[in-house]
Each structure stands twice: as C-alpha cells, then as structure tokens.
Structure 1
Amino acid sequence: MSLKITDECINCDVCEPECPNQAISMGETIYVIDPAKCTECVGHFDEPQCVQVCPVECIPVDPLHTETREQLLIKYEGLQALARAQVRERNALDV
C-alpha cells in the first residue's frame, strides 16, 4: 500500500528527507506522497520512515492504493533499476 499525508500535516519538513524513494514532495498546501514511488520503505527499512518521524501522526495507509508486501518489493526493485539506469546514463554523458 502507499501511504498518504492527511490535512493534519503541519508542513514541518521532517518527512521529505526521510523518504528513500523521493516519493514525498510539497503539494499546493501540504506535503503529498506519490503512490507510484511509495513502497512504505519496503526494501529499505522495516518501517516507513516518514511515519516514524511525523510529529502529528498524519501519515496513514492510503486505502485507494492497496498493495501486498510482495507488490511493494517488486515496486522497490523497479525503482532501484530505474535509478541505476539514470546513473549509468549520466555517467555516459560525462565521458
């Protein structure tokens, strides 16, 4: 499942840097989580890091984006492969 940030967000800026997939960004008024990038930290950590650091506990599971742990792991592996490809591309341009 992806996580989501609710309207209780106080824009404290602690969640964004904790996300290993860069799934969190500033929205129009509060931070938002891109469900295509959110793996609930599966593959990186045992628990979602944004949830751990949120001082107002405004990051629940998003019921509109339900995924199993196995699906989250597949998403993680795809995101990692994409990141590696981007690094290779940048390195090729530097040569």
Structure 2
Amino acid sequence: MVQISNVLSSENWTKNNGWGSTISNMCSLYGVICGTDGVDDFVTELNLAANNLTGNIDDITLLSNLMNLEKLDLDSNSIVGNLTTFSLNLVQFSNLTYVDLRLNE
C-alpha cells in the first residue's frame, strides 16, 4: 500500500486519510475495504475513483500484495501508462470481478 501511495502521489489526492509513507492499518485507509478469514485481514476492494491520482501504473507489482482483491476502481483520475497491458496483467488476481480504469490519461 505504501508503494501505491508513493507512485500515485497520495499527498495530492482529494481524500487521502491514512495514506502516506507509513501505513499502520491498511484497512483504515480511505477507499480500502477489507475482509477477514478469522485470523488475518486482507484488502478486497480498492476504490480511489475521482480522487486526483496521478502517476504511472505500468508496473503491476503495485498491487502484488492484494491477491484477495475483488474490486478495483481507479476511474476518473490522471493515471498514465499502458492501461491495456495493466488490465491484461490483472488476470493473476483470481478473485477480481470488477475493474474500472475509465477516464484516465
């Protein structure tokens, strides 16, 4: 999550509660919804739509620690990079059922 924060310039986000160079509880971050297996919490949804995100998302490793991700919404930001390639690489996330990358650069 720190890498997402750094690469997509969280200091400039419209809503960035909890995001920054140190993150103590990923489930308390703005736009993050978590699930649990009774022992561990894990991110199931990342919704940062229309939040003034900027940066390049060519590297899929931004999401590498989110293997339980079900929904990803980065719609209406200023993200650059090859969104087609990024989208195709999302196939490794077997739980992912919803992706919205519309209206980016």
Is TM-score (shorter-chain normalized) higher than 0.5? no
As a proportion of its length, which structure holds more strand?
A: 2
As a proportion of its length, which structure holds more helix?
A: 1
